[in-house]
Amino acid sequence: MPHPSLTGEELATQPADWRTAASLAAEAGAALPRRGERVAVVGCGTPWFMAQSYAALREAGGHGETDAFAASEFPYHRRYDRVVAISRSGTTTEVLDLLGRIDTPSTAITGDVSQPIAAAADRLVDLGFADERSVVQTRFATTALALLRAHLEVEGARPAGVGTVAAAAEDAERALAERLPAELVACEQFTFLGAGWTNGLAQEAGLKMREAALAWTEAYPAMEYRHGPISITAPGRAVWGFGALPEGLAEQVDGVGGRLVADSGPGGIDPLADLVRVHRLAIAVAESRGLDPDKPRNLTRSVILA
Ligand code: F1P
């Protein structure tokens, strides 16, 4: 066995990190959205996709209207009761600029409370235990989402059909232990699909494969697959669904020769645990292509603009 990458080591702590996050959810609640608040969640890169997942979960759970934005695209003309910013480094320029521009009560969820985000936000949630040395984010991002999910549980706002964080952590243990099929690692292209809260997971899966493995990936809402993306699928290419697949879609992927992965529908593994499988796949694909997932091309831990 080759020595595991740092990214590989860090992603393996996710079940424990999610459990820790769940145990903090009630206490962190004072800084997190209250029921009925109109909330915007912002971030850049991976945190933006976690923001999308949380926004869909919170609305589906009836906790309140929630939008998600890339920090650079925040609509300053809109009124929100609270802005939640997610940033591992606490130094990302667009996030700091946004927090500096708004009067709205703000909360930062960060991996490093010693950074400028601590002064820029009104409230802080410290996820230092899930911070990473890897450039490519895995556990920080999913732990932020696990915390927000667990907070919805505490608030009695877990959406129908969405499991508990405790159950997701158990599924993640299994996701870490299972064998990755060699034929999947060998695929030349990956299309990730989601719906509702799993759309953000599909987007994140695509980003992870690009960042760690320079892979050709696409990501869409599942019902959009037939409206164009299906043209890309062919033998040696994969389609990976997060959550329930639309009726007939499995047959269509099969019909065009694609390799389908769809294990996180009803009764299957939790979609967040399914993302852990993509983390592992990203590393396996990187290594199979002679890339070092700890040295992702053109990326740095944080983007700090002059
Ligand atoms: C966000 C981020 C990372 C990405 C890259 C650049 O950082 O976009 O997701 O992997 O390293 O920064 P942060 O705001 O969460 O620190």
Ligand 1 near 47 CB (within 6 A) = yes
Specify the ligand 1 atom closest to the Cα of 137. 10
1 pLDDT higher than 60: no
Q: With H, G, I as helix, E, B as strand and everything else as coil, classify residue 52.
A: helix
Cβ of 93 closer than 6 Å to ligand 1, yes or no, is: no
Which residue has a Cα nearest atom 12 of ligand 1? Answer: 302
Q: Are 165 and 148 in contact (CB under 8 A)?
A: no
Span 109-147, pLDDT tens digits: 999 999 999 999 999 999 999 999 999 999 999 999 999
CB distance 44 to 199 below 8 Å: no
**Pocket of ligand 1, candidates 46, 69, 209: which has the most ligand atoms within 8 Å of its Cβ, to mutate?**
46
User: Which strand ranges, in their side-by-side order, compose the sheet holding 237-241?
Assistant: 216-221, 189-194, 237-241, 259-261
CA of 257 to the centre of ligand 1 (A): 35
pLDDT in tens, 32-47: 999 999 999 999 999 9
DSSP strand pairing (189-194 vs 123-126): unpaired
Q: What is the pLDDT of residues 137-182, one digit of tens each?
A: 999 999 999 999 999 999 999 999 999 999 999 999 999 999 999 9
Find the 39 Cα to ligand 1 centroid distance in Å.
22
CA dihedral in degrees (179, 182, 183, 188; nearest 10)?
Answer: 110
Over residues 186-220, the pLDDT tens digits come to 999 999 999 999 999 999 999 999 999 999 999 99
Pairwise CA distance, residues 133 & 48, whole Å: 20
Pocket test for ligand 1, best of 145, 209, 303 (most atoms within 8 A of CB): 303
Q: How far apart are CA 212 and CA 283, in angstroms?
A: 6
The model's pLDDT over 222-248, given as tens digits with 9 standing for 90+, comes to 999 999 999 999 999 999 999 999 999
Reported as a pLDDT band with limits 50, 70 and 90, residue 4 is: confident
Which residues, in sequence order, are CB contacts of 184 under 8 Å at separation 6+? Answer: 238, 259, 261, 281
Per-residue pLDDT band at 2 (split at 50, 70, 90): low
Number of Cβ within 10 Å of residue 3's Cβ equals 7
**Mean pLDDT for all residues in the chain:** 97
SS3 state of residue 263: coil
Q: Take atom 7 of ligand 1 and give the residue whose Cα is closest.
A: 302
Q: Which ligand 1 atom sits nearest the alpha carbon of residue 140?
A: 15
β-partners of residue 194 are 221
Q: Is the CB of 92 under 6 A from ligand 1?
A: yes
